[in-house]
């Protein structure tokens, strides 16, 4: 499969482009509004083009969209209209109506569309969901980094920036992944930057029924940290690096009242979650699998509800 890439930010350069090649596919062209040298470093034979030229290229089978958040849906719709399969960075959409528009466009074009939540392709998340912990009662998630550059897209409210959109979407995804459905109730407390208008700290709570809860903290101006701990009726488990997972990770599990020093560490075989995501996307696209954005819709709906609860 030949890919075109829209946007050439850090994730596209350091993760997705290498993953596409490692998965056995080709990069035909890269689209950028600010192309540098005609030749793209590290991609011999690949040239810069405009976004429009990428979509018009008859050799391009699929497009990976790595643009700022507010451009995800407009260019996804244009790519589908051009009859390209689409892998779009998260958050794919900023409203539920946008998700529905993309679903309809994918069905109309008969092309496959997928949101790029790479974590769902990492075996540590599958193990976490499958461990015999009993009925889940509590999930705690932390994800933060420190970025104080006012020009960075993550700190631009007009571009869909902010902690909740950028990394809070992972916490929401995790809840829907673990509990199997959208939460019944949500609550968010957020702190906005005085000048930028983006949320830089956000404390959230998602609830399922009366006795299952996920609490999260995400921040763009705190020490770099990430972690997930899940507590069930019979045991607990944790992921030390749940989102930016290195090649080698382990899942810690403790059962029947055991303390942390008694936890078992399940070492997993090395895996690149971006490569696995590309392989899964390409396989479903080539097989003609119909697009199902129900999970993306649930994530978007929950994020919108959280923002509403905090008055964002």
pLDDT per position as a tens digit, 150-181: 999 999 999 999 999 999 999 999 999 999 99
Beta bridge partners of 204: 188, 216
Mean pLDDT on 262-266 = 89
Beta bridge partners of 24: none
Q: What is the pLDDT of residues 58-101, one digit of tens each?
A: 999 999 999 999 999 999 999 999 999 999 999 999 999 999 99
Q: What is the pLDDT of residues 201-243, one digit of tens each?
A: 999 999 999 899 999 999 999 999 999 999 999 999 999 999 9
The model's confidence at residue 311, banded by pLDDT at 50, 70 and 90, is confident
Homologous superfamily of the 120-271 domain (CATH): Dihydrodipicolinate Reductase; domain 2 (3.30.360.10)
pLDDT at 307 over 90: yes
Mean pLDDT on 145-151 = 95
Catalytic residue among 51, 84, 90, 274: 90
The model's confidence at residue 200, banded by pLDDT at 50, 70 and 90, is very high
Is residue 2 part of the annotated active site? The answer reads: no
CB–CB of 127/121 below 8 Å?
Answer: no
Query: Residue-wise over 132-145: b if at least 16 C-beta within 10 A, else e?
Result: ebeebeebbbbbbb
pLDDT at 36 over 70: no
The model's confidence at residue 37, banded by pLDDT at 50, 70 and 90, is low
pLDDT of residue 146: 97
Is residue 170 part of the annotated active site? The answer reads: yes
Given CA atoms 18, 19, 20, 25 in this order, what sign does their dihedral have?
positive
Q: Give me the chain's average pLDDT, please.
A: 95
Same fold, 2-116 and 120-271: no
Mean pLDDT on 291-308 = 97
pLDDT of residue 125: 97
pLDDT of residue 16: 97
The model's confidence at residue 45, banded by pLDDT at 50, 70 and 90, is confident
Catalytic residue among 145, 170, 217, 274: 170
Return the CATH architecture of domain 2-116. Answer: 3-Layer(aba) Sandwich (3.40)
The model's confidence at residue 47, banded by pLDDT at 50, 70 and 90, is confident
Domain boundaries, the chain: 2-116, 120-271
pLDDT at 40 over 90: no
Strand order in the sheet with 221-232: 185-192, 199-208, 212-219, 136-146, 221-232, 235-239, 250-255, 264-267
pLDDT of residue 43: 86
């Amino acid at each position: 499969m030949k890919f075109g890439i829209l946007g050439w930010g850090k994730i596209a350069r350091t993760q997705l482009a290498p993953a596409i090649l490692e998965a056995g596919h080709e990069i035909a062209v890269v689209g950028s509004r600010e192309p540098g040298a005609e030749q793209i470093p590290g991609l011999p034979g690949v040239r810069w083009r405009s976004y429009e030229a990428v979509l018009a290229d008859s050799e391009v089978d699929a497009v990976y969209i790595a643009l700022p958040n507010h451009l995800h849906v407009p260019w996804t719709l244009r790519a589908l209209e051009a009859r390209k399969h689409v892998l779009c960075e998260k958050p794919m959409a900023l409203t539920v109506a946008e998700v529905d528009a993309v679903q309809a466009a994918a069905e109309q074009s008969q092309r496959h569309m997928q949101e790029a939540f790479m974590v769902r392709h990492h075996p540590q998340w599958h193990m976490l969901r499958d461990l015999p912990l009993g009925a889940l009662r509590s999930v705690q998630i932390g994800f933060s980094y420190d970025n104080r550059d006012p020009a960075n897209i993550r700190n631009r409210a007009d571009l869909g920036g902010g902690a909740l959109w950028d990394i809070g979407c992972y916490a929401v995804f995790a809840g829907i992944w673990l509990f199997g459905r959208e939460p019944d109730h949500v609550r968010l407390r957020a702190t906005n930057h005085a000048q930028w208008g983006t949320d830089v700290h956000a404390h959230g709570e998602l609830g399922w029924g009366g006795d299952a809860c996920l609490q999260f903290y995400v921040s763009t101006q705190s020490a770099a940290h990430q972690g997930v701990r899940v507590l069930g009726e019979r045991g607990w488990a944790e992921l030390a690096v749940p989102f930016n997972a290195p090649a080698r990770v382990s899942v810690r599990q403790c059962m029947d009242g055991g303390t942390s020093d008694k936890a078992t560490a399940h070492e997993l075989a090395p895996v690149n979650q971006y490569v696995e995501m590309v392989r899964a996307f390409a396989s479903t696209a080539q097989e003609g699998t119909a697009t199902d954005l129900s999970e993306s819709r649930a994530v978007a709906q929950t994020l919108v509800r959280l923002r509403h609860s905090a008055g964002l």
